[in-house]
A and B are shown apart, each in its own frame.
Chain A
Amino acid sequence: MPLCTMRNIVFGYDQEPVIRDFSADFHKGEFIAISGPNGAAKTTLLKLLLGIAKPWSGTVHWSADMKRGSVAYVPQQVASFNPGFPSKVIELVKSGCYPGLGLFRPFHSRQHALVEEVLKEVGLWELRDRKIGELSGGQKQRVCIARAMAQQPDLLVLDEPVTGMDAANRASLYQWLHGTVKSQGRSVVMVTHNLHEAEPYLDRVIYLEGKEACEHVSI
C-alpha cells in the first residue's frame, strides 16, 4: 500500500498545462529523486503532491496511515528566509517538534535529545546558539533540513536541498538521507539537478522531461 498515489494529474498555471497525465506511487522506505531540465515542473509536482497546489484534474490520494504532521517539507527558497528572523539555530530546529507536541505539550528529554541528534547530524550543533540570519546559505539549508528531521516525518520532501552546499556536504547529506530511509523506514522525495551525485543512494528516479514525457527509473 503506497503512502501516496498520484493518478492522471493535469496542472498548469495559465491556459497551457505544465503537467499532463502524470501518475506515480510513493512507497514507504523509498528514496526517490525527481529530476529533469529547468522548467520541467519539478517543484510544481512537489506542490501538487503536498496539496499546496490543486490539480486541474486527477487525484492525489494519501494512505490513511499518514497522520497530521507526518510529512515534512523543505522548499527550494527556504534558506533565503528573512535574515532578521529572530531565532537561534536551536530554536528553529526545536520548532520542528511542534507538530508532534501540539499546542501545549512541553519539551521533554526525548525532544531535546532528538534536536541535539539532528543538529549533530548536520554538523551544526556547535553553532546552535547562532542567530539563523548569521549563517551561510549552505548552513541555513542544513538547519532547515534538521528542522524537518526533528519533525520525525514518515515522508520527507526536499526541493533542491543541496543548494549552497559544497561537494563533501552534498555527499554526506545523500548518505544521511539514505541511512534514515533504510534504518528508520522513512521515505524521502527529493528534487535535484545533481542526479549523478545522488544516484548511488537512490531507489528510484522520476525524470520529468517537458509536459508529457515522464520516465520512472528503478535503480
Chain B
Amino acid sequence: MFQYEFMQRAFLAGGLIALIAPILGIYLVLRRQSFMSDTLSHVSMAGVALGTVIHVEPVLSGFLFAILGGLLIEQLRRTYKTYSEVPVAIIMTSGLALAMVLMSMKASLSKSFSSYLFGSIVAVSRTQLIIIAAVTLIGLAFFVLLRRPLYAMTFEEDTAAVSGVPVKLMSFAFAVMTGMIVAAAMPIVGVLLVSSLIVLPSALALRFARGFASAALLAVIAGMTGVFSGLTASYYTDTPPGGTIALILLVFLLGGIAIQRAAKMLGIWKAGDVSASGVPQSRKRQSNQTIHKRSY
C-alpha cells in the first residue's frame, strides 16, 4: 500500500497527530476537560463553513475558530467555576448551530462537509500535512518545555498559582494549544471522532501508568499503534479510515480494562488493590509499621 503517495501522506499525517494528540489527552482527562476536544472540533467546523462562505481558506478559518473557541471555553470556565461543563455545552451547541446555518447558505458545502465530519486522511493535502507537522512540533515544544508548570497546575491550580505558576496565562496557552491540535487532527478522523484520537489513548494509558512521563509515552504508543493499524485495516477492508482508527482505539481501551480486571481477579495487579479505607490491602501492614516509624 505504500506505493501510493496518498497512503504515505496518510501514515505521515496520522503518525504526527498520534504523537501529539494523546499527550494533550492526558492533560485534558486529568483537568476534567475531555469534552473540550469534541467541542472545539464542532467550533472548527463552523470556521470551515464560514471560510467557504466568505471565500477564505477553510483550513485556516477552521483553525482560527478552534483557537478562539478554546480561549472562549477557558474564559467561561473561569466564570462558571462550579459548573465547568456548562461552557462546553454552550460553545459546542453554538458552534454546531453556526455551522448548520452557514452550510445552508451554500448548497455545495453539504458534500464536502462529509469529509470534515468523518475525516479524509487519505485525501490529506500537502498544505494540511505541513500544518499538521508544524502543530506537532509546536505542541511537542509546548509540552516538553512547560512540563513542570503544566504538571503543577494539572495537579492543583491554586497550589500552582501560589507557588508562582502563572496559571491564568498557562491555561489560556493550553486552550490555544488544544484548539490547534484539534484543528490539525480533524482531517484524520473528522469532527465527530476527533476526541477518540485525543481521549481514548490517554484513558488507556492512565489506567496503567504509574508516572506522568510513562503515561504520556504509553498514550503515544497506543495512539500510534491505533492509527497505523487503523489505516492498514481501512486500506485492506475498504472501511472509512477515521471510524476504523476510532474503533481500534476503543478496542484497545476495552481490552486494557478487561486485562486489568482479569489481573486484579487473579491477584496479579497490585496497583488498584485498594480497600474501602483507601489503604491497599496487600501493603496495609507495611504502611501501619511505617506510620509508627515516622519521625517528623
A92: which of B155, B158, B164, B291 is its contact (CB, 8 Å)? B155
Instruction: Check A75/B278 contact, CB under 8 A, given A52-B162, A123-B295, A134-B271.
Output: no
Q: Say whether, besides A82-B30, A99-B163, A131-B271, A139 and B287 are in contact (CB < 8 Å).
A: yes
Bound CA span A136–B284, Å: 10
- Looking across the interface, which residue of chain A has its beta carbon closest to that of B151? A95
Complex contact B159–A136 (CB within 8 A): no
Q: Give the residue name and chain of the B residue nearest to A84 (CB).
A: B206
Offer 22 A-B interface pairs, CB within 8 angstroms, sorted by A: A51-B162, A52-B162, A72-B163, A74-B159, A75-B158, A81-B156, A84-B206, A86-B30, A86-B212, A87-B211, A91-B212, A98-B148, A103-B145, A120-B295, A124-B290, A126-B286, A126-B290, A127-B290, A139-B279, A140-B278, A168-B291, A176-B296
Asked if B209 is at the interface (CB within 8 A of a chain A CB), the reply is: yes
Using CB atoms, name the residue of chain B closest to A133. B274
Contact yes or no, A98 B214, CB < 8 A: no
* B277 / chain A contacts, CB cutoff of 8 Å: 136
Q: Does B141 contact A (CB under 8 A)?
A: no
Which among A103, A121, A140 is the interface contact of B296 at CB below 8 angstroms? A121
Chain B 150-167, CB-CB to A under 8 Å as 1, else 0, gives 011001101101111100
Interface set of A (CB-CB < 8 Å, partner B): 47, 50-52, 68-69, 71-75, 78, 81-82, 84-88, 91-92, 95, 98-99, 101-104, 120-124, 126-127, 130-131, 133-137, 139-140, 148, 151, 157, 166, 168-169, 172-173, 175-176, 179
Task: Determine the distance from Cα of A84 to Cα of B207 in the docked complex, in whole angstroms.
Answer: 7
Partner of B162, one of A50, A85, A176: A50
Complexed CA–CA distance, A176 and B209 (Å): 33
The one of B159, B163, B165, B278 in contact with A78, judged by C-beta atoms closer than 8 angstroms, is B159
